[in-house]
Amino acid sequence: MRLWTLPIIVCLSLLPGCGGGGGGGSSSPVVAPTGLTYSVNPAVYTTGVAVAPNAPSSSGGAVTSYGVSPNLPSGLSLDPGTGIISGTPSAVTAAASYTVTATNSAGHTTVGISITVNAAVVPPGNWTMSNTTVGTSPVGVLFDGTNIWVANENSWNIYKISASTGAVLQIYPAGLGAQYLAYDDVNNYVWTTNPASNNVTAINATSGNLVTYSCGNDPDGIAFDGANMWVANYTPATVTKIRALDGRIQQTVSVGTGGVSNPRLLAYDYVANTMWVTVNGDNKVDKIDVNTGTVLGQYAVPGSPYAIAFDGTCMWVTQASANTVVKIRTSDGAILGTYGAGVGPNGIAFDGTYIWITDQVYTGAPPFPMDTICTVTQLLATDGSLVGTHQVGERPQWVTSGGGYIWVTNGSDNTVSRCTY
């Protein structure tokens, strides 16, 4: 028995040693992920519409978790295990970059994803629209209490249109590149800036008598203070004060920092008797004392400030590159709120209750594709809440209210839209 027992014991004692000897290899090291991308970037979504899952891809090692900063727009979420972005956006959100981080035990990689959430276009219902053909490339539009006036940039003329029927009543010549309009309700004249001829045109709203006055170079925006016309001169960074009664220049005010400050559009605060001008090149708005011409304040407004309107209490300014509009307290220039305003917000108007902003969902160059959707955004002036987004013509330029309608000039299809809501 002893002779047989010994080999068995030896054999059993050797087995573990044999097994251990065969495990001398080592596993491959973990590699950090690299080259993180998303299938859709930039991503543009619409409120109330579920988004198609936006999935990431990367090189290097396998990703074990994902995170994002700052938080995605309301209604959207990022799956921490897969990195997929999904959901149904619930609030209009200006274009912003969100940093997604993909991680494993060896390291991490990041990518910035741009996300914009636009308001849903209000389907046909209370909103109706009829178009009147006007001149070439219409820009400015205003209501004089009876009729609508449209300035046409490339046909160098002004259309007078019945506010009740939309019919063209008269066509008047203007200077080169007719742009923006203002109404002198004291002397009953409609004024337009003509940047290509460096002058302004005044037309008697009843008789059609026309007179042209000099101003600064590249006149752009124009506004009336009850006695004088104020004209923003784009190139020399000045604002010219012109007596409306006879066209005599009363004062020239330097704005911005000079040079390429590029003042654009104007709005009159009839409560504080100040004139406001957007200074696009400086990302500011300037406030001017109407009586003295003194610049009382220069206030920062990032995002290429462009159009401006007064609601009786606050100034509203479009931020063309930020796809937003800001509400500004007139006493000190403080920004009280920032609100989504479609893509490329352009014109702006206040109708007594609502703020109206022209914007354009399609941002490419003309000619526009057949499915182009161009809109006006309707905000409640009291709190900036979104009331609706409504479809209009191609490349909407300026907007005004009058005769119970909203009027929008459409620069690419050479029309003015008369809209009910």
d(CA 204, CA 349): 24
Residue 151 within any structural domain of the chain: yes
Residue 19 within any structural domain of the chain: no
Residue 11 within any structural domain of the chain: no
Residue 1 within any structural domain of the chain: no
Which of 118, 144, 165 lies at the terminal end of a domain, its last residue?
118
Whether residue 306 is found in the same domain as residue 384:
yes
Token pair 């330029």 in the structure block, residue: 397
- Closest residue by Cα to residue 130 from 162, 170, 172: 162
- CATH number of the domain bearing residue 45: 2.60.40.10
Whether residue 78 is found in the same domain as residue 212:
no
Are 160 and 166 within 8 A, CB to CB?
Answer: no
Whether residue 135 is found in the same domain as residue 254:
yes
d(CA 140, CA 131): 16
Whether residue 215 is found in the same domain as residue 77:
no
Are 76 and 115 within 8 A, CB to CB?
Answer: yes
Radius of gyration of the chain (CA): 31
The token duo for 193 is 């800036």
Which of 118, 151, 174 lies at the terminal end of a domain, its last residue?
118
d(CA 57, CA 190): 59
Burial of 18 (0-12, 13-18, 19+ CB in 10 A): exposed
Residue 69 within any structural domain of the chain: yes
Count how many domains the chain has. 2
Whether residue 66 is found in the same domain as residue 141:
no
Whether residue 140 is found in the same domain as residue 110:
no
Cα 313 to chain centroid distance, Å, stands at 22
Q: What is the pLDDT of residue 123?
A: 52
d(CA 160, CA 179): 15
SS3 160: strand
Phi, psi of 335 (to 5 degrees): -80, 120
Q: What is the pLDDT of residue 372?
A: 54
What pLDDT, in 10s, does the model give residues 354-391?
999 998 654 444 454 544 568 899 999 998 988 888 98
Are 140 and 147 within 8 A, CB to CB?
Answer: no
SS3 196: coil
DSSP result, 357-373:
EEEES--SPSSPPTT--
| Pairing verdict, β 65-69 and 181-184 | unpaired
Are 91 and 74 within 8 A, CB to CB?
Answer: yes
Q: What is the pLDDT of residue 24?
A: 47
Q: What is the pLDDT of residue 140?
A: 97
> CA dihedral defined by 287, 290, 293, 298, rounded to 10 degrees?
0
Cα distances (angstroms) measured from residue 175 to each of 153, 197, 216: 9, 6, 14
Q: What is the pLDDT of residue 259?
A: 65
DSSP result, 165-218:
T--EEEEEE--TT---EEEETTTTEEEEEETTTTEEEEEETTT--EEEEE-SSS
Does this model's pTM top 0.75?
no
Are 43 and 111 within 8 A, CB to CB?
Answer: no
- Beta-bridge mates of residue 219: 233
Whether residue 54 is found in the same domain as residue 153:
no
- CATH number of the domain bearing residue 289: 2.130.10.10
Residue 20 within any structural domain of the chain: no
d(CA 290, CA 312): 17
Q: What is the pLDDT along the chain (421 residues), one digit of tens a residue?
A: 334 344 444 433 434 444 444 444 557 899 999 999 999 999 988 888 899 999 999 999 999 999 999 999 999 999 999 999 999 998 878 788 999 999 999 999 999 999 988 777 655 458 899 999 999 999 999 999 999 999 999 999 999 999 999 999 999 999 999 999 999 999 999 999 999 999 999 999 999 999 999 998 999 999 999 999 999 999 889 999 999 999 999 999 999 986 678 999 999 999 999 999 999 999 999 999 999 999 999 999 999 999 999 999 999 999 988 889 999 999 999 999 999 888 889 999 999 999 999 986 544 444 545 445 688 999 999 989 888 889 899 889 999 999 999 999 999 999 999 999 8
- Closest residue by Cα to residue 407 from 163, 192, 224, 226: 163
Whether residue 112 is found in the same domain as residue 139:
no
Q: What is the pLDDT of residue 125?
A: 58
Most distant CA pair in the chain: distance in Å? 135
Cα distances (angstroms) measured from residue 336 to each of 37, 80, 143, 153, 241: 37, 35, 29, 35, 30
What pLDDT, in 10s, does the model give residues 308-364?
999 999 999 999 888 899 999 999 999 999 998 888 899 999 999 999 999 865 444
Whether residue 96 is found in the same domain as residue 134:
no
Whether residue 234 is found in the same domain as residue 146:
yes
Residue 16 within any structural domain of the chain: no
* Domain around 134: 128-420
User: CB count, 10 Å around CB of 99?
Assistant: 12
Whether residue 204 is found in the same domain as residue 77:
no
- Closest residue by Cα to residue 132 from 409, 421, 348, 420: 409
Which of 80, 96, 118 lies at the terminal end of a domain, its last residue?
118
Q: How many CA atoms lie within 13 A of 334 on its CB side?
A: 5
Whether residue 90 is found in the same domain as residue 172:
no
Token pair 């007078």 in the structure block, residue: 160
- Beta-bridge mates of residue 335: 328
Q: What is the pLDDT of residue 21?
A: 44
d(CA 253, CA 261): 13
| Pure H helices in 98-140 | none
d(CA 161, CA 271): 31
Phi, psi of 259 (to 5 degrees): 65, -110
